[in-house]
Chains A and B, each alone.
Chain A
Amino acid sequence: MSTLVIKDLKVSVTENEQERLILKGVNLTLKTGETHAIMGPNGTGKSTLSETIMGNPAYHVVSGSVTLDGVDLLRQTVDQRARAGLFLAMQYPAEIKGVTNIEFLRAAVNAQRDAADQLPVTEFLDRLDQNLALLNMSDAMAERYLNEGFSGGEKKRNEILQLLMIQPKFAILDEIDSGLDIDALQVVAKGVNAMQGPDFGTLMITHYQRLLNYIVPDFVHVMMDGRIVKTGGAELANTLEAEGYAGLRDELGLDVALTDDEVES
């Protein structure tokens, strides 16, 4: 079993040449075999948390720690963190013309392995075919340039395809449900659920309870104003759906402005 521990994490970003504190002390422990969901209103720091764990240089850790099985991840480069077993399904994956999806996947899969133990091509292609089929993706998707000209839904599927190919210990899914219709959402959920097992942990970030009907969490955390303000089981998502974030805020007596604006992107 592996454990990802986030302790009192404070993170700022630079806006108009000024540092603005986004995460104000986040504590969270994930174990493989568990499925967590973080919910919360816009602009509350959910994406900041996921990008910071991955090591996006745009986010500056002020204090706190992130460890994987006791190893300090914050000292590691982005690619080292990925090889240590982290995966982030991104909201806005980059597009790279000239690099095919298949060669990118092969480079990513082999990056997880020793130079002496690279995945044989036939085995790689077998796994690729299985995963493409699981996600209702055509073979042509593998031959296309990485995310180039992909629709929003195709990009999300492609993120899950990478997840299935790379087989990380922990996956952070940052709004993997945004912009998906119900059919696409079911396909994406099928992909994530296929990963579930004792050696895999998930952290889903979402605005909406809908995703959690398809990927059922063991824990739901509510984040407001840079902190996790409440943790519960799957039923907490239903409560939120019924009462909204304002209801929870008032119940907890928090002084937090809620906005529908897309502050965070």
Chain B
Amino acid sequence: MTEQNLLARVQAYSCSQHEPSWLLKLREQAVAVYQKLPLPKFEKINYRDWPLFDFEMPTEQSSAEPVENLGAGQQFYSVGTTTIQLSLSTEAIQGGVILSDLKHAIRAHGDLVQRYLMQKALQLGTDKLTALNTALMTNGFFLYVPANVQLTAPIEITQFVDSRQRQNFFNHSLVIAGENSRVQVVQRLKTLGEHANAAHVLVEVVAADAAQVEFAGIDQLSANTTAYLNRRGVLAPDAQLNWELAEMNAGRVVADFDTELKGRGSAAQIKTIAIANRQQTQGIDTRVTNYGKQTTANIVQRGIVLDEASLIFNGIGHIVKGAHGAKADQENRLLMLSSKARGDADPILLIDENDVEAGHAASVGRVDEKQLYYLLSRGIPRPVAERLVIRGFLAGVITELRSQQLRTELNGLIERRLTDGNH
């Protein structure tokens, strides 16, 4: 599609949605930026020929039939661009929490959206794919937690990519946590239907002073969904953001999980587990940048590679000049279960200040033979024993998850991923 074409279609879409002029302008700028910027670089992955760029105009997916039973217990549940279910607990409603889809938020809370959308966590100049998403996004979820509101129950969000027909999915979500607020979000990404589609999913998390955000992302996109995932957090002073991310997708995925520790004393924890099997490639860049003084970053990643799959973890810890007393730690470990599998666990530390602490550990290894022998010696058959050893390998992340429910859910998902196919 030519630049003119893309621009015209984006303008036509914005107009059809009666979008405010600031948003049309943002989209127009995004189109221009998209044309100019290079693709974001994922070390050791060439995704240029992936069907991520086979996009048309922003599209409404009005054909989506509601699939009621898939959204049980969710506060937010959508299929394609259609939001099917929305609910909030009494505590959230009384606290003035807003949960809606992005489309509704643009109309009803335009000032808030305008203040945060592509302004704080992400900007138009960030990269080509982010700009593309901004030009073409059609919906997402919008969560606003006012200052001093501390929610006890998690906000559960399930979003299906609607692959019951051939269409793209450009999704953009915003989480805004006000000063001294507290919120847990669980975002589950899945695919409905068998068609081959591209999914571009962006989430911006903005944590104000002393806000505490727990964000779990459980991504289970199907083999026919090729995805670009970008979750980005930005933290004000003393804010905390904990990411718990599970990449259980079956298709090709490049993921960018970035956190910017802007405010003094802010802290981020990122725990990632990923499983790649069959011919799948998953590339995950996890970056934390310490800008503020006394900021703390901790990345722990565990991945398992089976069959002929590739899994690449790039862990990037960047301490910029002026971030006195900052800490950046990371540990990336991969377990290879097949001789044809490919795995890389690359820690990258960029340190531009002196009085800081930074550390990293990385390994790419095979099943622990001593553990395996012990389990076998108790009569446990090899496939089961191997899965238990793998569970032990992932324990560095799983046992640290705060929610028992998530631990159980993930153990189940892992078991299914490992027994998918010949394993």
Of the listed stretches A36-44, A63-71, A77-85, chain B binds: A77-85
Residues of A within 8 A of B373 (CB): 56-57, 78, 94
- Would you list which residues of chain B between 367 and 385 have a CB under 8 Å from chain A? 368-371, 373-382, 384-385
Residues of A within 8 A of B20 (CB): none
Is there contact, CB below 8 Å, between B392 and A112? no
Q: Is B336 in contact with chain A by the CB < 8 A criterion?
A: no
- A83-B375 Cα distance, complex, nearest whole Å: 12
Q: Whose C-beta in chain A lies nearest to the C-beta of B393?
A: A98
Given known pairs A94-B373, A96-B389, A98-B391, the reply for A83 and B396 (CB within 8 Å) is no
Q: Is A212 in contact with chain B by the CB < 8 A criterion?
A: no
Interface-central residue, A77, A82, A96, A97, by most chain B CB under 10 Å: A96
- A145-B396 Cα distance, complex, nearest whole Å: 12
CB distance from B34 to the nearest CB of A (A): 43
Q: Whose C-beta in chain A lies nearest to the C-beta of B385?
A: A79
- A56-B380 Cα distance, complex, nearest whole Å: 15
- Would you list which residues of chain A between 73 and 92 have a CB under 8 Å from chain B? 77-79, 81-83, 87-88, 90
Residue in A55, A83, A88, A96 whose beta carbon sits within 8 Å of that of B392 in the complex: A96
Please tell me the size bucket of the interface on A. 20 to 34
- A93-B370 Cα distance, complex, nearest whole Å: 9
Q: Is A107 in contact with chain B by the CB < 8 A criterion?
A: yes
Interface-central residue, B377, B388, B392, by most chain A CB under 10 Å: B377
CB distance from A183 to the nearest CB of B (A): 26
Q: Whose C-beta in chain A lies nearest to the C-beta of B370?
A: A94
Secondary structure of the A contact surface, majority rule: mixed
- A116-B12 Cα distance, complex, nearest whole Å: 63
Given known pairs A54-B377, A97-B396, the reply for A79 and B382 (CB within 8 Å) is yes
Residues of B within 8 A of A77 (CB): 376, 382
Q: Whose C-beta in chain B lies nearest to the C-beta of A112?
A: B379
Secondary structure of the B contact surface, majority rule: helix
Q: Whose C-beta in chain A lies nearest to the C-beta of B391?
A: A98
Residues of B within 8 A of A82 (CB): 376-380
- A98-B376 Cα distance, complex, nearest whole Å: 17
Residue in B369, B379, B391, B396 whose beta carbon sits within 8 Å of that of A166 in the complex: B379
CB distance from A52 to the nearest CB of B (A): 12
Q: Is B176 in contact with chain A by the CB < 8 A criterion?
A: no
Q: Is B399 in contact with chain A by the CB < 8 A criterion?
A: yes
Given known pairs A94-B370, A111-B381, the reply for A104 and B394 (CB within 8 Å) is no
- A264-B388 Cα distance, complex, nearest whole Å: 29
Q: Is A99 in contact with chain B by the CB < 8 A criterion?
A: yes
Q: Whose C-beta in chain B lies nearest to the C-beta of A95?
A: B371
Given known pairs A90-B374, A96-B388, the reply for A108 and B379 (CB within 8 Å) is yes
Residue in A79, A88, A93, A95 whose beta carbon sits within 8 Å of that of B380 in the complex: A79
Please tell me the size bucket of the interface on B. 20 to 34
Is there contact, CB below 8 Å, between A88 and B377? yes
Q: Whose C-beta in chain A lies nearest to the C-beta of B394?
A: A98
Is there contact, CB below 8 Å, between A97 and B399? yes
Q: Is A162 in contact with chain B by the CB < 8 A criterion?
A: yes
Interface-central residue, B373, B378, B384, B398, by most chain A CB under 10 Å: B378
Is there contact, CB below 8 Å, between B374 and A99? no
Q: Is B395 in contact with chain A by the CB < 8 A criterion?
A: yes
- A81-B16 Cα distance, complex, nearest whole Å: 71
Residue in B377, B384, B388 whose beta carbon sits within 8 Å of that of A78 in the complex: B377
CB distance from B328 to the nearest CB of A (A): 25
Interface-central residue, A107, A112, A162, by most chain B CB under 10 Å: A107
Q: Mark A22-40, 1 if CB is under 8 A from B, else 0.
A: 0000000000000000000
CB distance from B333 to the nearest CB of A (A): 13
CB distance from A186 to the nearest CB of B (A): 25
Is there contact, CB below 8 Å, between B379 and A83? yes
- A108-B384 Cα distance, complex, nearest whole Å: 10
CB distance from A212 to the nearest CB of B (A): 25
Residues of B within 8 A of A83 (CB): 379
- A47-B14 Cα distance, complex, nearest whole Å: 76
Q: Whose C-beta in chain A lies nearest to the C-beta of B397?
A: A98
Residue in B368, B376, B391, B392 whose beta carbon sits within 8 Å of that of A79 in the complex: B376
Is there contact, CB below 8 Å, between A96 and B371? yes
Is there contact, CB below 8 Å, between A111 and B378? yes
Is there contact, CB below 8 Å, between B374 and A97? no
Is there contact, CB below 8 Å, between B398 and A98? yes
Residues of A within 8 A of B378 (CB): 82, 87, 104, 107-108, 111, 162, 166
Q: List 27 A-B contacts (CB under 8 A).
A: A54-B377, A55-B376, A57-B369, A57-B373, A78-B373, A78-B377, A79-B376, A79-B377, A79-B385, A87-B378, A90-B374, A90-B377, A94-B370, A94-B374, A95-B371, A96-B371, A97-B395, A97-B396, A98-B393, A98-B399, A107-B384, A107-B388, A108-B378, A108-B379, A111-B381, A111-B384, A166-B379
List 5 tightest A-B contacts by C-beta distance, closest first.
Answer: A98-B395, A82-B379, A94-B374, A108-B378, A78-B376
B interface with A by C-beta (< 8 Å): 368-371, 373-382, 384-385, 388-389, 391-396, 398-399
Known contacts A77-B376, A79-B385; can you find 5 more A-B pairs with CB under 8 A? Answer: A87-B377, A90-B377, A98-B392, A99-B395, A108-B378
